[in-house]
Chains A and B, each alone.
Chain A
Amino acid sequence: MSSVRIVHEPADKVRDIYTWSKSAKAEVKKILAKYPKDQSRSAVIPLLHLAQREFDGWLPTKLMNLVAETLDMPYIRVYEVATFYTMFNLAPVGKYHVQVCTNCACMIRGSDKILEAVEKLTGAKAGESSADEMFTVSEVECLGACVNAPMMQVNDHYYTDLDAESAKEVLTALKEGKTPKVGSQVKEAS
């Protein structure tokens, strides 16, 4: 188990020290206030999300340890949660994590073409990152936007009602540092 983890953790991508910033500390406090005082373990998923968001978009062991120490939990309890849930990245990801849904509703409405367009534009196949580390591409399970299929999620946001062209436009905009419109990509009828 531990050896597998180390293989996935390229040394040059792991920071020397992980500590919460001042704003993150305030966020931790806010999260802990949601749960009974003796149930701080409930905060482990929110804290792993926070950790991933604060530091590079993935969870090296050292960072999971920070979460464990913050919640006074055994390390293994944090590792088993982090490895169970697919949203926690156990290896480095690109600046933009492009997750293309290929489940039934999206497949029927052409997710093959979306994935193909995404792979072509980023130069990364599903499960890989682009050479410039800008994009990581994943094929994911149903993201629950089936009446707006096909769709993809990039980092926190949904881009729905896609076709190959609009999917490429979204990613090109992100690549150029722009902020594409979140949500439906259907052009408003003029």
Chain B
Amino acid sequence: MNPLRVWRVLRKDLALGPRSPFFLWAVAIPVVATVLLQVVFGGLFAPKPRLGIVDDGASEVAVAYQAMDGIAVTMVADEPELKRLVEQHRFDAGLVLPAGFDDAVRSGAKPPLRFFLSGGSLASNRIVLAVTTIDLVRAVEGSAPPVDVQMEILGAADWLPLSARMVPLLVMFSLMIAGMFLPATALVEEKERRTLSALLVTPVKLPEVLAAKALLGILLALVMGLVTLLLNNALGGDVGTLLLAMVVAALMSAEVGLLYGVVSRDMKALFALFKGLNIFLLAPVVFYLFPEWPQWIPKVLPTYWIINPIFDVAVKGAGLGSVWIQLMIALAICVVLAVAIVSLTRRLERTLAAG
């Protein structure tokens, strides 16, 4: 196999990509699906509460607010400016901390605390900011809350919000469209239009064409998978392990796509194959949405071994030590797929030559 010839065919596929409806579909669909699901279930466009603060006396309340991830804090120079910005709905609320506020609170005095609310702010944001402000003032005062709040976690301790459980579905969708569908359609299109025959009377060999299609799938699956994770704010802690899991997932996806392409005579057959088999390949992600279902079932499906390591690393923050066995199983499946592709490639060569 000549890498230069593989690159030349890949370069052609990449250049032709934006002119192909399949390519555009593969790129657009995962992004559109992510955005739609995020809009429906919340997440992507759920804004953080925005608070403007005028701090005339280096208050601990302002420092504590600035240390919070969940609230977008902006320091403002003076009260009139703050009021103007709140009126313009640039902030959900504005807080004025006068000079000597902390000392006055600690001494037991009741200093004035001006808290402006924007008429256009969400009720949920108003409540979050008001309650947080009261909590922080109590912390400055050093007094215990007037009630003893007893917190108890009900249900599974590792319960994840729906938005997090949607991540496998979205990533799998990206892998399927970009990693499986694109190389498969690229190959079947070459067969249908007979351009493959034209390639094979040049120095290019069939395995080189297939390698180019596989690389196309791997590259796109990797990019679209990472974009999907990024859009879902699920890049986890260990970026290296996440990348490794994504590469293995992209590899398996591209191999499945190549298999589809090799065995499909035309687009009609390819779509039939996609509709018939992808139900099984997509099935593991349903078990993340319904964690009460028996969790051994998805383990019998090959795609579980690529999607679960991604989920563990990207969503649960696991490291390589926790997912390496899963990755090894995924790689073993990739080897089996590669053997199947090599075997079917010989059959394809004979079929193409026979016309």
Verify that A and B bind, or say they do not: no
Interface residues of A (CB under 8 A from B): none
Interface residues of B (CB under 8 A from A): none
